[in-house]
């Protein structure tokens, strides 16, 4: 019988621009290798103080809309007390309060159970750190 709990680290390069990176395929691949047709939960966790996980539609502009909304809510200017790094970097440290660093999603019969237009995404506004890790953990 497969392990009840399995975890894997994804290394994701986000580059030097703010990005929303679709991780859905990576999640599905992980589950196809470890879930063995079982029901359970997939936890996606980003161990970074300046990134988050969102479940949103991608490819139709919603990912860009999310970044635009974050710019409105968290402007990259000098208002932030946290002041190291690029100008306005303090906003990146507030991001996880709005886009949490984790999501837990249902797995039914070994497959990710989401709506038709939903995708699992890494949200990274920190232009100073291009190398991210994402931990995928299946409990089932």
Q: pLDDT per residue over 80-133, tens digit each?
A: 998 888 888 999 999 999 999 999 999 999 999 999 999 999 999 998 999 999
The model's pTM: 0.94
Round to whole Å and give the CA distance between 82 and 60: 34
Confidence of residue 69 (pLDDT cuts 50, 70, 90): very high
Residue tagged 């502009």 (tokens): 61
* pLDDT(33) > 90: yes
Q: pLDDT (tens digit, 9 = 90+) per residue, 2-13?
A: 689 999 999 999
Domain locations along the chain: 5-139
pLDDT at residue 50 above 90?
Answer: yes
Distance between CA atoms of residues 121 and 139, nearest Å: 20
In 3-130, the DSSP E strands lie at 5-13, 19-22, 40-45, 51-56, 102-108, 111-112, 119-124
**Is domain 5-139 classified as CATH 3.40.50.2000?**
no
């Amino acid at each position: 019988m497969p392990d009840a709990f399995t975890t894997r680290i994804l290394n994701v390069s986000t580059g030097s621009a703010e990005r929303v990176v679709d991780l859905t395929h990576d999640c599905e691949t992980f589950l196809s290798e470890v879930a063995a047709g079982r029901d359970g939960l997939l936890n996606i966790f980003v161990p970074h103080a300046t990134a988050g996980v969102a479940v949103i539609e991608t490819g139709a502009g919603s990912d860009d809309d999310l970044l635009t909304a974050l710019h409105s809510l968290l402007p990259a200017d000098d208002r932030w007390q946290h002041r190291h790094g690029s100008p306005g970097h303090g906003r990146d440290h507030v991001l996880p309060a709005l886009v949490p660093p984790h999501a837990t999603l249902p797995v039914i019969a070994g497959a990710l159970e989401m709506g038709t237009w939903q995708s699992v995404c890494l949200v990274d506004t920190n232009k100073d750190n291009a190398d991210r890790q994402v931990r995928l953990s299946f409990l089932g």
